Amino acid sequence: MSRPTRRQFLKSTATIAAGTALAMPHVRKAAAATLELRWLGWEHYNVAKIVREFEKAYKVRISSSYIDANSEAYNTLRAGGTADFDLVMGDGFWPRLYAKQGLTQPVDYRKIANIDKVFPHFRPPGSTILQEEGGKAMIAAPNCWGGYGLTVNLNKIDKADAHSLSLLFNDKYGRRLSTSARLEENIALAGILAAHKMGTKTAARPDGKPFNPYVLTDAELEEAKALLIKQKRLLVTRWNDENTLERLLRAEAVWASPEWSGIYRRIHFDKLDGKTRLNMTHALRPTEGGLGWVDSWAISAGVTSSEKLELCHKWIDWRLKPENMAIVATDLGWSPTVDVRRLIPRRYVETLFLNQTQVIQDLYQYDAPSSPEKWERVWSEVQAA
Amino acid sequence: MSNTVRFWLMVLPGTVFLVVFLLLPLIAIVVFSFWRTESYTLIQDWNLDNYATIFSHSAYLTFLARALVMATCVSLVCLAYAWPVAYFIVRYGGRYRLILLLSTAAPFLTGEILRVAALQQILGPIGVVNMALTRFGFDPIEALMYSNMATGTGLVYLWLPFMVLAIYLSLLNFDFALLDVAKITGAGPLRAFVEVTLPLNRAGTAIGIVLVFIPTLASATTSQFLGGPDGALYGNILARQFGSTGTWALGSAMGVVLFLASALALVIVWRAVGDLRRSGIVIKGAPKP
């Protein structure tokens, strides 16, 4: 076969380029014909099987973007993200903030058949956290729940220390502790301990409301800061991602850390299945009090077409389908707000805290700090100390 | 087509690019730095509070000082490491010079996160080094685990190829016969290097230092994953202002300070290099000394 000449090469290239240019508008039209649902949330919920089957069932395309903190989702929406995302996830009180700022729109529970399968503690009248403040409209639909409790290796840590927040500040376990890198939860958790020590948790609050670790007084913030500075020398690291913490816990390089219960469950599932000898426990609600979350799906204010709005509701309904929630529970270790007890191995039920969903009512729900600017300074001072 | 039209056709795309992607964002950052944020909302309220916060709170100055020390250390280590590597490649690489040079940049075939994750697997408490030590009954090296040393190692690994490249390109123009002259006139290898090779390649060296120093000053990812509880650098705190805390105005002021610090570093290097004609750089048409 003879080698092509330069003229032949240029001719072929020009033909291909012209062909591609002519075909592009049609390709674009074909792509545009497929409706796309874009969600912003936690990466671990991007479960391939659940997404693939939804795409197949409704002939749509799902795309997802991820956040590291609720405030990040909030800031993204505020910076024009309502046009870029159809659904957004939020924990605790955050969906109320989204709604208050007009960043999301009401969710019509009548269009979500599986909402009836949600445990009563996560929907009205059992819980009103996903209801518009002072109104009746629902602003989001629940997904999974948990705490920011303590996962503790009982082979290394005294049982008597395992259920107290003081564990995270105990010299006895120096260079064997870890916490997440998220400033809100670090300050809030230290704030609970600080208020507990100062006796201000149960006392009358300046705002007249019950104690909320995201609304700390200056004195409590100072005490929390002192605790966090003291804690620094006890830490191996502040983890940025769950995989890092899971590896450190499994290798026993870290003996205790607060986390969202998922890692504890995955390790404990392995123990129940005879795959590990690690003896882990999880203090969902530490003695002094703990943080909790119910993450949820909210619909962006940018969704204006009725077709897209319908699809958003279908997606939420799909995610709440018990069979799909069972996958999230057993494969990922997140506890669903839907009752999946009949669909998962019995030995997993207790580890997922599915028989004690009422605990959520005793946990301080994730919220926005009362003054992000003040909390920023406190966290900077902790990091610089 | 007239020369003027041709000139503008050539100049316009680059100018538009610079104005849209560099100048306008920079102006926006400067403007925001004089505003304030309250509960994640940017408020147009002209003041100097953000600058006052940076220069009056020791925390922010500590982060800047940490970043400056880290950038200086990383630049020096890269310099010490890159010189022999580049020298060897140019002097003895023969026809494999380009391949050898490209092999120093092999880690760049992967993303930054992947490279940092790989380093975590080597340096961390359950990394290869410490696992091997504990397997043989030794204590793990704490300095390697989530520490400033780990961050420094990661940054050297990340930016070393730039330093090697800059020195390599400089050495390509260097006349090695000058070293023979130095030897004939009685200079030992060290003296020949210090008095001949290094001064005549100072521009390349300075460019290498700038290429390492400035990105290290602003770096955030490496320290985020490899640094310990004391490992936060200026870049980490800066990134947080635009992420979780949403304190954009303070972040903008921090960005302006970082920009000025980088510009100052450039000026210092430019002044240090001095006369380019004696530095191995050949400027076409320049009068001979």
According to the 3-state scheme, what is the secondary structure of A119-149? CHHHCCCCCCCCECCCCCCECCEEEEEEECE
Q: In the predicted model, what is the mean pLDDT of chain A? A: 89
User: A364 φ, ψ to 5°?
Assistant: -75, 120
Single-letter amino acid, residue B251: G
- Higher per-residue confidence, A262 vs A338: A338
- Residue contact B247–A372, C-beta within 8 A: yes
Residues of chain A above pLDDT 70, percent: 91
Q: State the residue for tokens 């994953």.
A: B225
pLDDT exceeds 80 at position B240: yes
Query: Helix or strand or coil: residue A290?
Result: coil
Of the candidates B123, B114, B224, the residue with the CA atom closest to the CA atom of residue A237: B224
Pair of tokens at residue A149: 């409790």
pLDDT for residue B50 = 94
Single-letter amino acid, residue A347: R
E strand or H helix at A36: strand A36-41
pLDDT for residue A13 = 63
Name the interface residues of B facing A (CB cutoff 8 Å). Answer: 37-41, 53, 57-60, 62-63, 120, 124-126, 142, 145-146, 224-225, 228-230, 232, 237, 240-247, 250
For residue range B84-93, list pLDDT tens digits in order.
999 999 999 8
For residue range B198-217, list pLDDT tens digits in order.
888 988 899 999 999 999 99
User: A63 φ, ψ to 5°?
Assistant: -130, 150
Of the candidates B29, B216, B71, B254, the residue with the CA atom closest to the CA atom of residue A380: B254
- Show the CA angle centred on residue A184, arms to residues A200 and A279, nearest 5°: 90
Q: In the predicted model, what is the mean pLDDT of chain B? A: 87
Mean pLDDT value across residues A46-72: 93
Residue spans of the domains in chain B: they are: 60-276
- Residue contact B244–A175, C-beta within 8 A: no
Which residues 269-298 of A are in CB contact (within 8 Å) with B?
A: none
Single-letter amino acid, residue B145: M
What are the Cα distances from residue B63, in Å, to A183, A353, B48, B73, B234? 17, 42, 20, 15, 5
pLDDT for residue A230 = 94
pLDDT for residue A126 = 87
Indicate the pairing of strand A149-153 with strand A141-147: unpaired
CB-CB neighbors (< 8 A) of B146 in chain A = 236-237
Pair of tokens at residue A234: 């006890």
Single-letter amino acid, residue B225: F
Q: State the residue for tokens 């000026």.
A: B267
- Residue contact A384–B225, C-beta within 8 A: no
Q: Which CATH class is domain A149-289+367-384?
A: alpha beta
Bin A208: left if φ > 0, else alpha if -120 < ψ < 50, else beta. Answer: left
pLDDT exceeds 60 at position B278: no
For residue range A89-148, list pLDDT tens digits in order.
999 889 999 999 999 999 999 999 999 999 999 998 888 889 988 788 999 999 999 999
User: A41 φ, ψ to 5°?
Assistant: -175, -155
Residues of chain A above pLDDT 90, percent: 65
pLDDT for residue A6 = 65
Pair of tokens at residue B8: 């503008």
pLDDT exceeds 80 at position A48: yes
What is the distance between the alpha carbons of residues A171 and A174, in angstroms, rounded to a whole number? 5
Instruction: Give the residue ranges of DSSP H helices in A251-329.
Output: 262-272, 306-320, 322-327
User: B44 φ, ψ to 5°?
Assistant: -80, 90
CB-CB neighbors (< 8 A) of B142 in chain A = 175
pLDDT for residue A27 = 52
- Residue contact A380–B63, C-beta within 8 A: yes
Mean pLDDT value across residues B183-204: 90
> Around Cβ A204, how many Cβ atoms within 10 Å?
9
- Residue contact B41–A238, C-beta within 8 A: no
pLDDT exceeds 60 at position A222: yes
Mutate to test the interface with B, among A234, A237, A239, A257 (most CBs of B within 10 A): A237
pLDDT for residue A9 = 62
Per-residue pLDDT band for A8 (boundaries 50, 70, 90) equals low
pLDDT exceeds 50 at position A189: yes
pLDDT for residue B289 = 43
Pair of tokens at residue A198: 């100062």
Of the candidates B22, B53, B21, B25, the residue with the CA atom closest to the CA atom of residue B37: B53
pLDDT for residue A18 = 61
pLDDT exceeds 80 at position A164: yes
**A141/chain B closest Cα distance in angstroms:** 24
pLDDT exceeds 60 at position B275: no
- Residue contact A384–B145, C-beta within 8 A: no
pLDDT for residue B42 = 86
What is the distance between the alpha carbons of residues A58 and A317, in angstroms, rounded to a whole number? 13
Indicate the pairing of strand A364-365 with strand A291-300: parallel
- Residue contact A251–B246, C-beta within 8 A: no
Are B195 and B179 in contact, with CB atoms under 8 Å apart?
no
What is the distance between the alpha carbons of residues B75 and B67, in angstroms, rounded to a whole number? 12
Report the residue from A175, A240, A377 with minimal CB separation from B225: A240
According to the 3-state scheme, what is the secondary structure of chain B? CCHHHHHHHHHHHHHHHHHHHHHHHHHHHHHHCCCEEECCEEECCCCCHHHHHHHHCHHHHHHHHHHHHHHHHHHHHHHHHHHHHHHHHHHHCHHHHHHHHHHHCHHHHCCHHHHHHHHHHHHCCCCHHHHHHHHCCCCCCHHHCCCHHHHHHHHHHHHHHHHHHHHHHHHHCCCCHHHHHHHHCCCCHHHHHHHHHHHHCHHHHHHHHHHHHHHHHHCCHHHHHHCCCCCCCHHHHHHHHCCCCCCHHHHHHHHHHHHHHHHHHHHHHHHHHCCHHHCCCCCCCCCCC
What is the distance between the alpha carbons of residues A217 and A194, in angstroms, rounded to a whole number? 11
β partners of residue A150 = A258, A283
pLDDT exceeds 80 at position B272: no
For B63, which residue in chain A has the nearest alpha carbon? A384
Pair of tokens at residue B177: 């016969």
What is the distance between the alpha carbons of residues A171 and A94, in angstroms, rounded to a whole number? 35
A343 contact partners, CB below 8 Å, separation of at least 6: A322, A323, A326
The CATH number for B60-276, chosen from 2.102.10.10, 1.10.3720.10, 3.50.50.60, 3.40.30.10, is: 1.10.3720.10
pLDDT for residue A144 = 95
Per-residue pLDDT band for B39 (boundaries 50, 70, 90) equals confident
What is the distance between the alpha carbons of residues A174 and B259, in angstroms, rounded to a whole number? 39
Report the residue from B126, B146, B245 with minimal CB separation from A376: B245
Per-residue pLDDT band for A25 (boundaries 50, 70, 90) equals low
Q: Identify the architecture of domain A33-145+293-354 in CATH.
A: 3-Layer(aba) Sandwich (3.40)
> Around Cβ B56, how many Cβ atoms within 10 Å?
10
What is the distance between the alpha carbons of residues B218 and B71, in angstroms, rounded to a whole number? 9
Mean pLDDT value across residues B143-158: 88
For residue range A331-385, list pLDDT tens digits in order.
888 999 999 999 998 888 988 888 888 999 899 988 889 999 999 999 999 999 9
Pair of tokens at residue B236: 């980490």
Are A344 and A352 in contact, with CB atoms under 8 Å apart?
yes
Are B146 and B226 in contact, with CB atoms under 8 Å apart?
yes
